[in-house]
Amino acid sequence: MIDGNMLIDEIVKREYGTSINILRRVPVSGGDINRAYALELSDGTKIFMKANSPGSLDFFRTEAEGLASMRKTATIKVPRVIDFGADESESFLLLEYIELGGRSRSSSEKLGVGLAAMHLHDASEFVPGGKYGFYTNNYAGSTPQDNSPEDSWIDFFANKRLRPLFEKTAHYYDKEDKKRIEKLIDDLGRFIPEPENPSILHGDLWGGNYMIDAAGEPWLIDPATYVGHAEADLAMTELFGGFDSAFYDAYMEIAGIDAGYKGRKDLYNLYHILNHLNLFGSGYLYSVKSIISRYV
């Protein structure tokens, strides 16, 4: 019989010493898709672990690559990836453990400053062969994201973000809807600009995808990372709430927010609402059609 912890035990010994063992695996609150645990080690260390079926290894690989890329910018705290892997019973991702604290005005300001600094960081190393995209494909939730490179942000957002999800949700639209969708994609350059500088993005930055530690420092977690327009991350922060005025004021002071952003943020969020329509069903159809009607 294969021990489900064998590979994880080997990683722990490699990282922390051959005398260190896993004492217990304690369930903790996590996302809807994966199981989450705190691994308590014999030296008192904790490791955060995500687990899923063995077939989910690619999800953890791409999450690890997104976290490592954001962490590489050294602009905002991102958990260290310890390792990921799979055995016959499960796939897993092992991360630095974060002791939770409470949110405050100061932590919001630090989050705004850190995100702005990440958006201003040179992102060229993350997209070989282009300006927008990423060096690997990944996922938004469980939906695959095509990150193959483009030199135009408008083309990337049209062809690698909106169009694939309109195709996945095509059964919800009638002929008139489909005409308006094509017109929206064809005319996308009328509504969104090419950014001055490409930015590495978190990619799924809603209020549940950052944490505040016991010292009041913000951390980014659960990314769907790619290089695009910084406004796409900002728009996502407004979709479900969880970010206060201190965050936006601090962000603006460092990176600025273009006056035209308010008129196009719904277009960026159309991608995420389409993804919710694809994953969770018709409850999101009204929102999708409402956004389309604003622009076409």
pLDDT at 30 over 80: no
What are the structural domains of the chain? 6-96 (3.30.200.20), 105-295 (3.90.1200.10)
177: annotated active-site residue = no
Looking at residues 222-243, what average pLDDT do you find?
A: 97
Distance in angstroms (rounded) separating the CA atoms of residues 125 and 141: 25
Q: Mention every residue, 6+ apart, whose C-beta is less than 8 A from residue 239.
A: 206, 269, 272, 273
Tokens of 175: 């002929």
CB 125 within 8 A of CB 204: no
Q: What share of the chain is helix, strand, coil (3-state, %, to 5)?
A: 50, 20, 35
pLDDT score, position 79? 98
Q: Catalytic one among 43, 174, 204, 233?
A: 204
Please give the pLDDT value at position 29: 83
pLDDT at 167 over 90: yes
Write out pLDDT tens, residues 94-150. 999 999 999 999 999 999 999 999 999 999 999 998 999 999 999 999 999 999 999
Angle between helix axes 245-255 and 105-120 (nearest 10 degrees) is 30
Is this model's pTM higher than 0.75 or not?
Answer: yes
Collect all residues with Cβ–Cβ distance below 8 Å to 280 and sequence separation of at least 6: none
| H or E element that contains 264 | helix 261-280
pLDDT at 84 over 70: yes
Query: What's the pLDDT tens digit per position in 233-268?
Result: 999 999 999 999 999 999 999 999 999 999 999 999
* pLDDT for res 33: 84
